[in-house]
Chain A
Amino acid sequence: EPEVTQTPSHQVTQMGQEVILRCVPISNHLYFYWYRQILGQKVEFLVSFYNNEISEKSEIFDDQFSVERPDGSNFTLKIRSTKLEDSAMYFCASSEALGVQETQYFGPGTRLLVL
Chain B
Amino acid sequence: DAKTTQPPSMDCAEGRAANLPCNHSTISGNEYVYWYRQIHSQGPQYIIHGLKNNETNEMASLIITEDRKSSTLILPHATLRDTAVYYCIVRVALGGFKTIFGAGTRLFVKA
Hey, which bits of chain A sit against chain B, CB under 8 A?
4, 30-31, 33, 35, 37, 42-45, 48, 50, 55-56, 58, 89, 91, 93, 95, 97, 100-109, 111
Given contacts A91-B44, A100-B93, A106-B44, 15 further A-B contacts (CB under 8 A): A30-B95, A33-B99, A42-B102, A43-B44, A45-B100, A58-B98, A89-B41, A93-B43, A95-B95, A102-B97, A104-B46, A105-B46, A106-B43, A108-B43, A109-B43
The answer on a CB contact under 8 Å between B98 and A101 is no
Q: Is B38 an interface residue (CB 8 A)?
A: yes
Known: A89-B41, A109-B41. A101 touches B32 (CB 8 A): yes
Taking each of A31, A97, A103, A107, which has the highest tally of chain B beta carbons within 10 Å of its own beta carbon?
A103
The answer on a CB contact under 8 Å between A55 and B99 is no
B87: A residues at CB distance < 8 A:
43
The answer on a CB contact under 8 Å between B96 and A111 is no
Nearest CB of chain A from residue B73's CB, rounded to whole Å? 15
The answer on a CB contact under 8 Å between B93 and A101 is yes
Hey, which bits of chain B sit against chain A, CB under 8 A?
32, 34, 36, 38, 41-46, 49, 87, 93-103
Give me the 9 closest cross-chain CB pairs, A-B, nearest first: A97-B95, A106-B43, A45-B98, A43-B101, A55-B96, A31-B95, A101-B93, A106-B44, A102-B95
The answer on a CB contact under 8 Å between B38 and A50 is no
